[in-house]
Every structure is written in structure tokens, then in C-alpha cells.
Structure 1
């Protein structure tokens, strides 16, 4: 009986991945197989990188019980700044990126300070930031489009890695998956935590590695691994480690779960809140650099409504707007779900208004499932 409970829990953890695969199968049939071609899968993942970058930062804010409505404007502003430095000022691309990342941290600090130390609700602070950052962007660019970007940015936004590097990456990540999973199991057993039966643990590892190899082969069948996807993978690993394996990450969950209890236990809530908003600003700046690189230009419309896609990705990926629940990996899967819906419906020539309606309904359904599950647990 105990084993059955563990298996059910594991299935719930990967329910969003199951839903994603189902969406792909449906679109594969409705598009006559065009959806699952190597070219489209490569483009799909490259398109999902932008929202994924924002979702990684946003999910930590949501776990703490806050929200950030300024992310889209922050993307536009940082993208405009990096374009001004690169195109108008002719600055070294590395220095341009460094200054833009610093700006993202500062703007995140602005949001975090007002929220943590000014005691202004994050909704109001970031709503103000949405207007302020967009206004500054229009002011410094004069409302003009700035481009084209230099070669390094083109490579960052649209480049691909060679097949050989892709194979090396698959081997290294595959080994990492095996080592991490087995070490995690050993640590849990050491402290008498519940674990999956060994045969299911092995099955999970085999499936994970098989999926990794499959995707690498798909990417190599087109042009190789997209560089933006590789960058996203690095940040996904970093922030997954931060949220799951560090004291700082545990504090984020503790504050979102019960801020009063977290305060009584000695957690510096204001400092953690400030830091999380700074990290969110950093990820928004990275998103702004990536978007500008992909488009090879910056415009005043860049990042419009991006915050809504980021929030939707987090919620679809399992984060609770009430705080205390959510995972970085889930947010990225949610972003891929959003990109899959956009991509699949575009291939089917679904009109834009229907695409918005369908995505909105899916978002409401995701929140309803979260609330329904919680209510069911409470009743039990």
C-alpha cells in the first residue's frame, strides 16, 4: 500500500509533462505530422526560451506570495538599453550585456525595496513599475526601433551548436541525471524519507535519459541545439539548485507558506524578498537581451504583455498564487506548454482571437484544478 501511494505522488509530480506530451500528440494529428518535425520542435523550444527566462524569476516571486506586473516593461527597457549601448554607442557587446544585467538587478531592487521595506503591496509597486519602465523606454529611444544588433547578439539569439557539442552535452547531462537521482535516493534513505521502489527509480532514470537523447537527436537532425536553449538549461539548473538545495530556497517556501511563522523562526523576510525581486529583475534583463538578440532590434513594443505569459506559465506549471507552492522546472514546463499552444494553433491557422480565448480558458482551468485539489485535501 505504501508503494502505491508513492507511485501516485510521483505521477502527480509529472502530470504537467504528461499533459504536454498529450498536447503534442493532438497537434501532431491535427497538423498532419508537421508539428513533430525536427525543424518545428527546434523552433518551438527556441520560441519558449523567452517566456521560460521570465517564468524562472517570476515563480520565485509567486512562491513568496507576491506578483510582478512590471516584467514585460522591464524586458522592453533592458532590451532598449542593450540596443542603445550596442548600436548607438558602439560599446563592446560583453560590456553592454554586463551593464544591462546590472540595470536589471537595480530595477529589481527598486521593486523589492518598495515591497519589502516600503510595505507597499507588490501588485501596486509593480503596476507602477509597468508604467514607469515603459515610459523611460519611450523616452530614451524616442519611440524609434534600434537595430541591427552586432554579430555576437545574433549568435546569442539565433545561433546553434554543432552536432558534436550536442552529443557531448547529452553524455554529460545524462551522467548528471544518473548521479543526481541516485545520490538523492541515497540521501533520502539515509534520513528514512519515503522513496520510490528501486525498479521505478531506475525506470525514471532510463526514461529521463532516453528523452534527453531523443531531443538531442531531433535538434541535430535540424541545425543543432539552439544556443538560447543551452543558456536556459544553465539557468534552469542554477535556480533549481537554489530553490531545492539551499537555505535561501527553503526560506522562500517558508515565507510563502506562512510568513508569520517564518518571521517568528528568525527568517529575515525583508532581505529575502528584496533578493528575490532582484533575481527576478536579473532574469527579466536576460529575457530582454535574448528578445532583442532574437529580433536583432529593440522597439517600444518589446515585452508587451510578457508578464502575463510568465505568470500563466508559472500557474500552469503548478505554482499557487496563494504562495508556498511551485517549482522552477514546473514553470519552464508551463512556458513550453504555452509555446506549444501558440505554435500548434499557428500551424493550424487558428485566428489570433481564438488563440487568446483558448489560452485564457486553459489558465482558468489550471487555477481551478489547483483550488479544487486543495479543497479536496482540506476536506479529507
Structure 2
């Protein structure tokens, strides 16, 4: 009975996160059954290469949403920063790293611009970023002089299209990829064990040891299977390394830092946060600066992926990023959301897009499916909040 009670507690304690993970598994299983090529090494590698920029945007967007704000301009910022990189690298003939640096600086300036109007002038983020969507899209046309620039080539092109490999085994499998994933799995397992021991030391409730071990074993098996698929294709994508580094950094920032706790406090109850001594204006300012920075990283990745810059690049990216956060468990009222949840939500969007393309679903139908999924996710959020309020 204790084991059954522990399982029930794990399932119900974080229903939103557990539910979205189950939904992700079900969606993957459905597409795998409908098209055997869906889980092939080549297609899984393509998913990583094609949708990483949305996951990067989702990492920044979830912090904005947790703070009780919204950013509608990120798609335009992706286009602007990619355009700046293209002008520096292609048109001016400067080294690739100068293009990257220029894009990052522009992203920081954009974030500071919007953060100033939101935090210190007091204009709602919705209005500021709606204006930014138009402003930065127009600047993109100005920077590119209404024409596309391509190709980047060389190292810049390799940011989103390159692979780290070279240790091929006897069966055509890249050993380096397997080793890196194995190290990551071991590191995650050690981290989870330390977290569990810390909770026990503070007499907090934890799942039973057998269930804890089963969870880690299942997760390790899935991760290593995914690693084997990548290793069987072209090796470890560079963009996956970038995404992993950002995920680790922002998971620590949101969960372990004072800044992260203040962001959640502001989103939960801004007035209470002010009374507690939280510098709300400063935190909101840096939340938007951070979003500008990550939008520039996404702009670099996207322009590298398409090997050029176009005035219309990044169109609707903001909606994909926002949808990823809400599908991943972020609350529409702020104060709730996790980096991991946003990534799962982004993966659901990526899997649906890729799966529908493989099935030949008309382009006109795909947005309808995405819209319905987003609507159901928000409805689930509202249902959970009402249920939680009723239990108090």
C-alpha cells in the first residue's frame, strides 16, 4: 500500500507537469505508429536541427511569463539580429565571430529598450512588445535594404548545421556522442540522488526508493536510446550542445538563484513582492534584457540554419514560443512555470509539426491543430487553478 500511495502522490503532486510529459509520450507514440520513419536517426536529427531556436526562445519566454508579462516581439528580434549578423559577415566580410557578437549586442540593446518602457515607464509588456514587433521588423527591412543576404558558409554555417563527432565505432556509430550522453545521464542521476537526500534530511516527502530507481532507469534508457539514434546518423549536433548549456544555466538561475526566486515572487503577487523588499522594476528590466539576449541567440541559430537572412524571417516565432510555455505548464496569471516544462512544450510543438509534415498534412490544417492544442493546454491550466482554489 505504501508503494501505491507513493505512486499516487507523485502523479498528483505536480499534475500539470506530469500530464504534459504523458501527453508528449502519447503524441510521439502516435506519430511513430503512423509513420515508422518518424523515429529514424535521420528524422530525429532533423528535428533537433530544425526546431532548436524555438526551444531557445521558450527558455527566455517562460521567465517573462512567470514574471506576469508577455513578449510579442521575439520573432522580429530573431529577424533583426540575424540580419545584423548577415550584414557584418556577408556584406562587410568580417569574421564569423564578429557577426555573432554584433547580434548579441543588438539583442541586449533591444531587451534594454523594452525593459525600460515596461519597468520604469510602466507601459504593459503586451503594448511595448507589440510596438517592438512592428519596430524591429521595420528595422530588419532597413538593415537588409529589403533584400535577402546569403550564404554565410564556413564556421557561422556550422553553428546550426555542424556536428561534433569523429570517434566512429565499428558499426558506424559515433562513440563520442554516446560517451557525452552517458556522462550527462550519470551527472543527472547524481544530482537527483543528492536532491533526494537533501529532502530526506529536511524531513520532506519523497517517493519510495524503488520508484526513484525505476524513474532514473527509464529516463536513462530513453536518453541513451536517443543518443544512439543521433550517433547512428551524423553525431552530436552543435546546436544541441548550445541548448543543453542554456538549459542547465537557466534551470539553475530560475530554481537556485535569488534573481529567479524574485521573478516567481513578482509573478505570484507583485504587491506582496514589493512589500517584501523585491526590486520589482529592476527585476522586470533584466527579465526583458535576458529575453532580448536569448532572442539574439535564436536569431544566430536560425540564420545559420537557413544560411542567410531574410526580411520576413522569424514570422510567428513568438506564438510558437508562447505556446510552448503554456503547453508546458506555465500559468496565464504568472508565478508558475519551469524551464523543463517549456522545453517539453516546445518539443510537443516540434514533434507535431514534423509528424504532420511526414504524414503530408496540408499546411493550412497544421495551424488549426496547434491552436487546438494550445487552447486545451490553457483550459487545463484554468481547471487546475480552480480545483486548487476549491481544495483550500
Task: Give the TM-score category using the shorter length.
Answer: over 0.9
Match of 2:322 among 305, 311, 324: 311
Q: Matches of 1:358 and 1:241 in 2, distance apart?
A: 34
Kindly indicate whether residue 360 of structure 2 is the aligned counterpart of residue 356 of structure 1: no
Which residue in 2 is equivalent to 1:110?
113
Shift of 1:276: 0.9
Q: Matches of 1:4 and 1:169 in 2, distance apart?
A: 31
Kindly indicate whether residue 26 of structure 2 is the aligned counterpart of residue 26 of structure 1: no
Shift of 1:161: 1.9
Match of 2:127 among 124, 127, 130: 124
Kindly indicate whether residue 50 of structure 2 is the aligned counterpart of residue 52 of structure 1: no
Runs of 4+ in 1 over 6 A off after TM superposition: none
Q: Matches of 2:359 and 2:215 in 1, distance apart?
A: 34
Over residues 111-163 of structure 1, what are the superposed CA-to-partner deviations in whole Å (9 max), with x where a residue is unaligned?
11100001000000000100110111101111110110031111111112212
Alignment check: 8 A CA contact 1:45 1:336 kept: no
Over residues 192-232 of structure 1, what are the superposed CA-to-partner deviations in whole Å (9 max), with x where a residue is unaligned?
22211111111122122212211110101111122111211
Deviation larger for 310-319 or 16-25: 16-25
Q: Matches of 1:165 and 1:146 in 2, distance apart?
A: 35
Shift of 1:3: 2.7
Over residues 164-191 of structure 1, what are the superposed CA-to-partner deviations in whole Å (9 max), with x where a residue is unaligned?
3212211220121111101111111122
Q: Matches of 2:282 and 2:94 in 1, distance apart?
A: 34
Shift of 1:10: 5.7
Which residue in 1 is equivalent to 2:11?
8
SS in 2 for 1:34: helix
Which residue in 1 is equivalent to 2:67?
64
Alignment check: 8 A CA contact 1:6 1:194 kept: no
Q: Matches of 2:197 and 2:321 in 1, distance apart?
A: 35
Q: Matches of 1:248 and 1:194 in 2, distance apart?
A: 27
Q: Matches of 2:196 and 2:223 in 1, distance apart?
A: 21
SS in 2 for 1:351: coil
Match of 2:382 among 352, 371, 374: 371
SS in 1 for 2:364: helix
Which residue in 2 is equivalent to 1:149?
152
Kindly indicate whether residue 163 of structure 2 is the aligned counterpart of residue 160 of structure 1: yes
Q: Matches of 2:42 and 2:97 in 1, distance apart?
A: 30
Q: Matches of 2:263 and 2:198 in 1, distance apart?
A: 22
Structure 2, unaligned runs of 5 or more? 166-173
Alignment check: 8 A CA contact 1:313 1:335 kept: yes
Structure 1, unaligned runs of 5 or more? none
Alignment check: 8 A CA contact 2:161 2:305 kept: yes
SS in 2 for 1:323: coil
TM-score relative to the length of structure 1: 0.97
Shift of 1:48: 2.1
State the aligned residue count.
379
Q: Matches of 1:10 and 1:172 in 2, distance apart?
A: 30
Alignment check: 8 A CA contact 2:89 2:98 kept: no
Kindly indicate whether residue 243 of structure 2 is the aligned counterpart of residue 239 of structure 1: no
Alignment check: 8 A CA contact 1:46 1:226 kept: yes
CA RMSD of aligned residues (A): 1.3
Which residue in 1 is equivalent to 2:171?
none
SS in 2 for 1:326: coil
Match of 2:218 among 193, 207, 216: 207
Shift of 1:5: 4.7
